[in-house]
Amino acid sequence: MARDTFEPSRDIPSLKGKVALVTGGNAGIGKATVRALAYHDPKAIYLCGRRHEASENAAADLRKETGYQNIIVLDMDLSSLESVKKAAAIFIEREDRLDLLFLNAGVGGTAYALTKEGYESQFGINHIGHTLLTQLLMPTLLATQEAGSDVRVVLTSSNAVFAPSAMLPRGGLDLKSMRKPDAYQPMTLYSHSKLANALFARKMATEYPSLSTTALHPGVVKSDIWGKGAGGLLSMILRPFMMAVWVNIDEGAKTQLWCATAPRSTEKNNKGVVSGAFYGPVGKLQPYKGASAKQELVDELWDWTNAELAKHGGPGWAH
């Protein structure tokens, strides 16, 4: 399918028999992703959200709109690793396969806070919670791949990954400060967390070459994420520019849907999805540069995150 003309209603193939899980599926591009998938008849779509009532309302709306009934609400608060573990356990009890994992939920420019386990909240929600979820679901992902499915893991990142060095901690990562809620301005903390998403995708691609793991910038999307934040002076300066170019949630969901459903790249089709790559709208390859291109940061983040998750009962990585 052509990237420039990708239309989910037409170009997503049948998902019959497949299971998808979407974090942050109750609003924004997460909800748009669930909607688009529902029209292609998967076995089940798990809609994950922090607020149960909002998730149930979103699921009810989508069932009515699409006619697809097997949208299952899964309560998950990514700021609590215990909540992530509980949600993963429920999923594993119910399902023996997972074909499409959308690590979509996120916060941006929010006021200073710590997660339940004491991590800077944007980093904790956008990276640490999602990494634990992936770790817990990896045995199911691998079993699904071994059964013959083309398994995809898709991370909703941001073009903040390529932010100037002034918008990132010095050196790109500052993991020693991730228990200090106010170590940097909110938008710097956002860029830091989104850099972590991209570095994680790169490492996943090398650790699990049989799976497809990609990170992406969805575009500047008119979404609830930007209604939650404190943001600081930088956010106030950037907001008018964002308003001039932002797109609706259905348009914003296209790149992650493309990453999850387009054919993978081959020698004969080098325009397909490349595991470990970073894409912008719609499915346009964006080469890593700056901090995102540094292999030492990929390894540093992986080792640090695994050590932190182990402190909270993380099972380690299945192979």
For the record, the structure tokens of 289 come out as 């540069």
Query: What DSSP letter does each residue of the chain carry, written as one string?
Result: --STT--HHHHS---TT-EEEEETTTSHHHHHHHHHHHTT--SEEEEEESSHHHHHHHHHHHHHHH----EEEEE--TT-HHHHHHHHHHHHHH-S---EEEE-----SPPS-B-TTS-BHHHIIIIIIHHHHHHHHHHHHHHHHHTT---EEEEE--GGGG--GGGS-TTS--GGGTT-TTSS-HHHHHHHHHHHHHHHHHHHHHH-TTSEEEEE---SB--GGGGS---HHHHHHHHHHHHHH-B-HHHHTHHHHHHHHSPBP-SS-TTSB-TT-EEETTTEE----GGGG-HHHHHHHHHHHHHHHHHTT------
User: Which residues participate in catalysis according to the annotation?
Assistant: 157, 190, 194
Query: Mutual orientation of helices 295-311 and 130-146 as an angle, nearest 10°?
Result: 100
> What burial class does residue 195 get, using C-beta atoms within 10 Å of its C-beta: 0-12 exposed, 13-18 middle, 19+ buried?
buried
- Find the farthest-apart pair of alpha carbons in the chain and give their distance in angstroms, rounded: 51
Q: What is the phi/psi pair of residue 160, to 5°?
A: -60, -20
